[in-house]
Amino acid sequence: MNEWRDEGVAWPVANPVVTCASLSDANFPSNFVADPFLYVQGDTLFLFYETKNSITMQGDIAVAKSTDKGATWQQLGIALDEDWHLSYPYVFNYLGQIYMMPESSQKGELRLYRALNFPLQWTLEKVLIKKPLVDSFIINHAGIYWLFGSDHSGFGTRKNGQLEIWYSSSPLGPWKPHKKNPIYNVDKSVGARNGGRPFVYDGNLYRVGQDCGETYGRRVRIFKVEVLTKDDYKEVEVPLGFEEPNKGRNAWNGARYHHLDVQHLSSGKWIAVMDGDRVPSGDPVHRFILGSASLAAVTVVAVVLGVLLGAVKCIIPLSWCAHYSGKRNNALLGRERSNLFSSKVRRFCSRLNRVPLSVRGKIKPNTWAGKLVLAVTIVVGVALTCIGVKYFYGGNDAEEAYPLNGHYSQFTLLTMTYDARLWNLKMYVKHYSRCSSVKEIVVVWNKGRPPRSSDLDSAVPVRIRVEDQNSLNNRFKRDPMLKTRAVLELDDDIMMTCDDIERGFNVWRQHPDRIVGFYPRLISGSPLKYRGEKYARHHKGYNMILTGAAFMDHTVAFERYWSKEAKAGRELVDRYFNCEDVLLNYLYANASSSQTVEYVRPAWAIDTSKFSGVAISRNTNVHYKIRSNCLLKFSEIYGSIAGRKWEFDGRKDGWDL
């Protein structure tokens, strides 16, 4: 709903709004959250959902509330905890009472609970049906109450492809089976299993179903109910209108989303809640298999390396073989002859142990060929080790965003370029658009024929802003179309990891009044002289951050840059075709006596323009001389910043990674 707040963090709040970490941080340990259902009371939204307790490893029903239209959520705790697994907490109102019908298939029955003290105290009202129904809901349609659910326990039932219907004059029952039960018993990709609350739009009833074809809960599908009577049922699939996440596992729902609850508010607006996951069902097993295979391969490489170095004389010691204890006697030999399999294993090991002899004879470590083989073997071993560790401990393989106070946010990526650097831009957009927190990419096009947005492989919208004049001042031009407070100004020739970008964004959210970036400079000396990062590190401090790779609040930064006070500085930028980042640092320093810049050290960064010959600053000496002149001019206009200095902070300097 794009809710904004004027607070000291980056708004608007981004998805996901609730994670298992949200619940764990509130002292309710959780492994995952799923199956969300909304209940609306006035201006307050209550969110009921399944949570898997990371201690008991059992599904419980948790509840949270929001008083700001769903932007933020307060975790209230566990609403329902039974001795069996609970999920799918369908909450509804009937005759002034609030009821919850969670899935209790492990108990073997469908149970209805009534709120004693909403939302945290519930009591069992009634067992509706003595069947292990999965993902059930109740609706009132044409004066009759209908219950939809799946029973996967029957003989010949297709799991996740079965659906049944019952009807009654009251949600309390008794319930009678539909004449056509089972309504579905088809392939699991068809959407038979329910995936959330049904809803009415323009007088039509819609059912939410799960597509479990590729993996359990891969996506939700919407079906328009055309016929619902005691004797017949017909529905037809309609478009959901939801764009598939294309950031892969860097999206909060990149691997699957299997539940949707839609609510029509009294204001006339609509609100919906969806669950999502970055990893498909069964992914931990997949990671374990690949991780084990990688580490097994490392063992093989280590043995090969040992053989090449002469440290390993046999691959498998015969003492490891069954019935072998070193010295043979007649009784032992008799047992060995009777054990054909053991003999075959021992013969295989003996033959395998002959391999090192031939290899050591052919490869000499002192020769160039031998050294090359050893180097390649070591590189392969290190690579396989990294792969194995990644699969075992690498989580879901996503470069995830960092929450601040339990909330996520997004930023706009802004870069400035021209036609000769189009190849740079294509690589840049393809890479950074898949970072978790990037909402949009704005390309400031300064010269030449601009590309079309469709020419760029992007996971987010790309807006190309064509400028009339080729000026570096365009980088900080006011732009009312920006959708986020946070802007990452990043040159199109800088490539770094998404994780570094996300870390920098997290630091900026903690200090939104500062320029937070990845390239520090220390301006000092008499006369002032522009120097590189090595100088700043040698003197253990910095007072400037290059805005070619920096986060800032565009509502503050761009206003300062285009203020009357900055006019003389902008004219110098146009004259030198340089120093726009230096000017912004001076404007920040001039506006505050406290710290105005913050440094985050990236794990690595590559300047891709060096490979193409289209670098803007190809001659470093000339480039630094021009910037030194800028320092002198800006100091005369805005006052010197040479007296400021902030030490590098190890917590943000990449040293803990």
Nearest to 247 by CA among 45, 433, 3, 18: 433
Model confidence band, residue 542 (pLDDT cutoffs 50, 70, 90)? very high
pLDDT value for 221? 96
**Alpha-carbon span 567 to 573, nearest angstrom:** 10
Task: Tell me which of 112-126, 143-157, 332-346 is least confident.
Answer: 332-346
**Percent share of the chain, pLDDT over 70:** 85
pLDDT value for 654? 34
Rounded mean pLDDT, 516-537:
92
Give me the chain's average pLDDT, please. 87
Nearest to 488 by CA among 474, 467, 508: 508
More confident residue, 651 or 398: 398
pLDDT value for 593? 87
Model confidence band, residue 11 (pLDDT cutoffs 50, 70, 90)? low
- Proportion of the chain in helix, strand, coil states, percent, rounded to 5: 30, 30, 40
Model confidence band, residue 303 (pLDDT cutoffs 50, 70, 90)? confident
Question: Residue 485: CB partners within 8 Å, gap ≥ 6?
Answer: 10, 11, 512, 553, 554, 555
Rounded mean pLDDT, 339-356:
65
- H helices of 193-329, in order, are 283-309
Nearest to 282 by CA among 189, 214, 192: 214
| Candidate list 457, 581, 607, 653, residue with the active-site label | 581
To the query of whether residue 457 is one of the catalytic residues in this protein, the response is no
- H helices of 268-395, in order, are 283-309, 330-338, 340-353, 355-362, 368-393
Rounded mean pLDDT, 533-553:
94
Task: Kindly tell me if the per-residue pLDDT of 642 is higher than 60.
Answer: yes
Tokens describing residue 427: 């690589």
**What separation, in Å, do the N-terminal and C-terminal C-alpha atoms of the chain show?**
36
* pLDDT digits 0-9 by tens, 609-635: 766 555 555 678 898 999 999 999 999
Which range in 5-19, 114-128, 348-362, 378-392 is most confidently predicted, on average pLDDT? 114-128
**Alpha-carbon span 257 to 266, nearest angstrom:** 27
pTM attached to this predicted model: 0.80
Task: Kindly tell me if the per-residue pLDDT of 10 is higher than 80.
Answer: no
Q: Are 436 and 498 in contact (CB under 8 A)?
A: yes
pLDDT value for 237? 97
* pLDDT digits 0-9 by tens, 564-587: 999 999 999 999 999 999 999 999
pLDDT value for 318? 55
Rounded mean pLDDT, 217-229:
96
* pLDDT digits 0-9 by tens, 18-56: 999 899 999 999 999 999 999 999 999 999 999 999 999
Rounded mean pLDDT, 408-412:
93
**Alpha-carbon span 286 to 301, nearest angstrom:** 23
**Alpha-carbon span 510 to 70, nearest angstrom:** 22
